[in-house]
Structure 1
């Protein structure tokens, strides 16, 4: 009886067990993570937009999935959506009514997809977004014709990313409807020409043209532009229009990693603060005029655009007062060029210059007296040049009261003005590595010396003297100093005696590599 009763009970519970088993043993997986008004559905192997999320979501992230098509009405359940990201899917087409219920969408990320396949249908869909503010179409294999179709009538867009596509040429129609455009990223395309492409974009402030194929940028007249990045191209001439009465709003210009032979012809009136010219072939050529031996050698060049119309720019190659307005410049980066001298008045034209980088150039002389560097200068790097002579009056050095970083390493210096560093009252870091400059055993009395008395620079914190052929450092060489970094590496046979003991309270880094010093003990 007991067995039969148990069997009857089991038979009665079996249907209920079958109902409960799917819930308890195989729970439904929630593919998206909900955080307030945001649904994060990244990397969920989705092939379509999930239909069962909260209707109140304002941001939907669907990155790194397998969505090939945004179908009509796929977003109909999410009328409050303002941000949609579909980056790194396999998206080919957006059907024309996919956004019909997304009137509040302001930010749309479609980066790294295949929109070149169905760009015409996708264009019709984009036109239904009246509040679209930011659009990312980067890395979609788009050429200029496809891009023009996709951008038709997107008058509300302010931020547009087209980087990593296949755009070769920009004409006057491609951005003609983007009246509110403020920022445009076109880097890593195959651009070689711009033909009045931005005439309608009066509000454009930031333009990125890096990593393209531009051979030159002439007739530059975008007065409202604040930031222009044209680095990593093949630019040999940059010439701004000189006949404009407006003041250019340009603050940052990046022409690094190009083929510039001449200093760029900058606007005659501007607010330029940051100028990046590193890794070009730039030099000044005024001195070459004195050595011209060819009777037919031209000294002027006239520029034409690709339509064979004169660009109204004639440059006198040896005339060096065409640098433009440098009065607001704060940073000048000339690393990796061929600069051998400064034209007369060039440095003086930058009264607010605070950072000057001239490493890896051909300077042989540095004259603080005649150049009159800005009193705002706090960083000066002239390393890896051919410097063999530095001239500096006391007044010129005293005026550099803000200079904190001074790099003279890897030059041909054997002598320096005795008070070169002591008159720089706020100097914190000096690099003299790989010059033939010693540490004085006694205080020098001449105006120039082959050694430096570092006790005269009491605020110095970092001192780099690698490879200076230093043999002996007196016990009092660093008395009264509070160095945190001292590098004496590559001075073979160095004898430091008790000099380092003076720094035991402050020293954090000590470089003694390749000196044959094997045993050093700090005594506290």
Structure 2
């Protein structure tokens, strides 16, 4: 007994010595990454707590004597054998990375080698070509394990006993495997599981979702056709659900009581059915078939009843097959702030809402919290005024790559365009009705005219009108937003200086007028505190020196490549260069001298070398003019003097 007590005291003393003395003076971590090693380096400092041996050629792992090691990275080697006692002395090892090796061989010996680590919390055995039985062997005696990564292996079926010795797992990543089936009870017994990643597998259905504690669930890039949860009164902790890149035809039926904040459904085939009503009814039929076992006695709308209670903040429905906007279903999400509906097939956003049972009139629904709406690339032509009225808090709308036209009364249009505007009036959009709108993109909508009151009563902060190459702008097109606009993009409009007039915009900080036919900066820019300016790909030969000086007080970045700039008329360029303004595309920019084209960076290093001939030519020309003037003056003077002399002689005679 005394011997045991003495041994324990000696051990405690030695541990205390290292932790309070030499441990603090020694290295805490060491990296041997990418050293072409074929074995573990000898004489490693026993005080190491972190060791990186990744990206080498080590094939065998023998005894490691590092009693204080907490983290070991052995990834990207050729490891195929772990000796049975190799890791026995790693008493405090918590994090072990064995990914990208050859652990699919020598399974019995390797698993015994791993079993000796009793306190491991994080294990990565990804990309080892491990099958179901191999994983079971490697997970033996892993009761302390909290994080497990098994990406890129060969798992095909998850059985209920796979994690029976790892019940403390909080995070499991099994993406990029071949999983097509999951036994009931596989994950349900893991009471602490919070994060589960099953992306890039072969799952086809989620028939009854029961993981109540999971907060993050990634099922993207499978072949899932439907996701159903049986109705119950349990509170689910799910906050993020990723079902993107699957084969969903219906909206998922989620837990009735949940904490879901983010739902990703992009790249599916939701909306392929002809109408929202048919989609909802088909979803409920599916629910009855899967959960109720064809018991149709309950005629409840399960989809809407669960969605009505969801605290969802963002939903991504981009890249689906919608031909109509699911107005009623989405309006149930009263907390929704962001909606991505881009890359669908909605050409007319009409008010397709069912009538109230006791009324002949359509209901007015609202999106009371929606702030961000992305409708890019739908082919939109019409947006119902009632839909605009429903967007009571919207701040950002992206309508890029559609065919919408801003509205204006016919009385305010020029007579030559009034008939054209009449044809557009039935489908144009009155953006001024959106009082909260701050950011709007109308890029590439083939806009015909930007009328004077298109944004009346709005307070736009940023506006993108790029790639509307046939758009006609009026002098007063900016009148309603000139006091609020901070960012304006009018690139690729094919306009000249005579077709572009910008008023004084006292808050404008970002201006993009690239890819046009401009040869002079708009004169009113001097009253804007511009921080970023792009004039790329225009017809500029020079810039107004005094205007550049005024802009340089605020300007941080300027782009000007793709213009035929003149080297020897570049006081403005020197002003830019001396002000410290960033010119990210200066390496792509050239200027022209009398006989060549040179990079502007090269010109700035020695401008006198390239423009001396030009300056000499100016001096010679000036000298010639002076000599000519003097010669003419002397000739005239002599002729005048001679004539005066002759007149005096005549008078004397």
For the aligned pair, the TM-score class normalised by the smaller chain equals 0.7 to 0.9
The residue aligned with 2:122 is 134
Deviation track 1:158-181 (CA, whole Å, cap 9, x = no partner) reads 100000111111111111221100
**Structure 1 unmatched runs, 5+:** 1-33, 292-296, 305-309, 444-451
Q: Report the secondary structure of 2:148's partner residue.
A: strand
Summarize the alignment of residues 6-45 of structure 1 with structure 2, pairs less than 5 Å apart: 36-45=27-36
Is the alpha carbon distance of 1:202 and 1:505 closer, same or farther for their aligned partners in structure 2, counting shifts above 3 Å? Answer: closer
Cα distance per residue 1:362-407 (max 9 Å; x no partner): 222155995644333221011222433323359946731xx32101
Separation (CA, whole Å) in 1 of partners of 2:85 and 2:121: 19
**What does 1:181-196 align with in structure 2 at a 5 Å threshold?**
181-196=169-184
1:281-296 pair list within 5 angstroms: 281-283=269-271, 285=273, 287=275
Matched, 1:57 2:38: no
Distance in 1 between residues matched to 2:228 and 2:377, nearest whole Å: 29
- Residue 289 of structure 1: how far off its partner (Å): 7.5
TM-score, normalised with respect to structure 2: 0.65
**Conservation of the 8 A alpha-carbon contact between 1:398 and 1:425:** no
**Match status 1:428 vs 2:453:** no
Residues in 1 aligned to 2:104 and 2:230: alpha-carbon distance in whole angstroms: 37
CA-to-aligned-CA distance 1:325-348 (integer Å, 9 cap, x gap)? 452000000001112334563123
Quick check: 1:165 aligned with 2:144?
A: no
Match of 1:520 in 2: 520
Q: Equivalent residues in 2 for 1:117-516 (5 A)?
A: 117-196=105-184, 197-242=186-231, 244-283=232-271, 285=273, 287=275, 300-301=285-286, 312=292, 314=294, 321-323=302-304, 324-325=306-307, 326-343=309-326, 345-363=328-346, 364-367=348-351, 372-392=365-385, 396=389, 399-400=392-393, 403-414=394-405, 420-435=430-445, 437=447, 440-443=450-453, 452=454, 454=455, 456-467=457-468, 469-475=470-476, 477-478=478-479, 480-492=482-494, 497=499, 499-503=501-505, 506-513=508-515, 515=516
Q: Which moved more, 1:128-137 or 1:421-430?
A: 421-430
Contact 1:111/1:137, CA 8 A, preserved across alignment = yes
Q: Which residue matches 1:75?
A: 64
* Cα offset, 1:494, TM superposition: 6.7
| SS of aligned partner of 1:240 | coil
**Distance in 2 between residues matched to 1:266 and 1:391, nearest whole Å:** 30
Distance 2:168 2:498 in 1: 66
Q: Which one has more relative contact order, counting CA pairs under 8 Å at least 6 apart?
A: 1
* SS of residue in 2 equivalent to 1:345: helix
Distance of 1:70 and 1:299 partners within structure 2: 56
- Alpha-carbon contact 2:320-2:343 (below 8 Å) kept: yes
Contact 2:198–2:218 (CA under 8 A) maintained in structure 1:
yes
Change (3 A) 1:410 1:145: same
**Larger strand proportion, structure 1 or 2?**
1
CA contact (8 A) 1:359 1:385 kept: yes
| C-alpha distance 492-41 of structure 1, shift in aligned 2 (>3 A) | closer
Max Rg structure: 2
Structure 1 segments, 4+ long, off by >6 Å, are: 288-291
Residue equivalent to 2:581: none
Q: 1-side partners of 2:429 and 2:472: how far apart?
A: 23
Match of residue 422 from structure 2:
none
Deviations 1:190-232 (A, max 9, x none): 1111112213212111111111111222211111111111111
Contact 2:487 2:510 in 1 (8 A): yes
- What is the match of residue 612 of structure 2? none
Tell me the equivalent position of 1:17: none
Tell me, yes or no, if the aligned pair for 1:95 and 1:121 is still in contact at 8 Å: yes
Contact kept, 8 Å, 2:248 with 2:268, in 1: the verdict is yes
More helix, by proportion: 2
Contact persistence 2:244–2:265 (CA under 8 A): yes
Deviates more, 1:200-209 or 1:388-397: 388-397
Q: Could you tell me the TM-score, scaled by structure 1's length?
A: 0.79
Could you tell me how far apart the structure 1 residues matched to 2:371 and 2:261 are? 15
Question: Per-residue displacement from partner, 1:284-307 (whole Å, max 9, x unpaired)?
Answer: 74848789xxxxx99945899xxx
Where 2:502 maps in the other structure, the secondary structure is helix
**Structure 1 residue aligned with 2:647:** none
Measured in 1, the distance between the counterparts of 2:272 and 2:119 equals 50
In the other structure, the counterpart of 2:20 is none
Shift of 1:354: 0.8
SS in 1 for 2:133: helix
Query: Aligned partners of 2:92, 2:499: CA distance in 1, in Å?
Result: 75
Q: Distance in 1 between matches of 2:221 and 2:285?
A: 27
Tell me how far apart the structure 2 counterparts of residues 371 and 339 of structure 1 sit (CA, whole Å): 22
Shift of the 259–393 alpha-carbon distance from structure 1 to 2, 3 Å rule, reads closer
* Closer/same/farther in 2, CA of residues 476 and 248 from structure 1, 3 Å limit: closer
Is the Cα contact below 8 Å between 1:455 and 1:480 reproduced in 2?
A: no
Deviations 1:61-99 (A, max 9, x none): 11111211111xx212x1111111101111111111111
459-468 vs 222-231, which deviates more?
459-468
Is the alpha carbon distance of 1:496 and 1:226 closer, same or farther for their aligned partners in structure 2, counting shifts above 3 Å?
farther
Residue 521 of structure 1 and its aligned partner are, at CA, apart by 1.9
User: What whole-Å deviation, never above 9, does each CA across 1:461-492 have from its counterpart, x for those lacking one?
Assistant: 23335327312331562563353433334545
The more displaced of 375-384 and 181-190 is 375-384
Does the CA contact (< 8 Å) of 2:495 and 2:518 recur in 1?
no
Structure-1 residue corresponding to 2:582: none
The CA distance in 2 between the partners of 1:100 and 1:164, in whole Å, is: 28
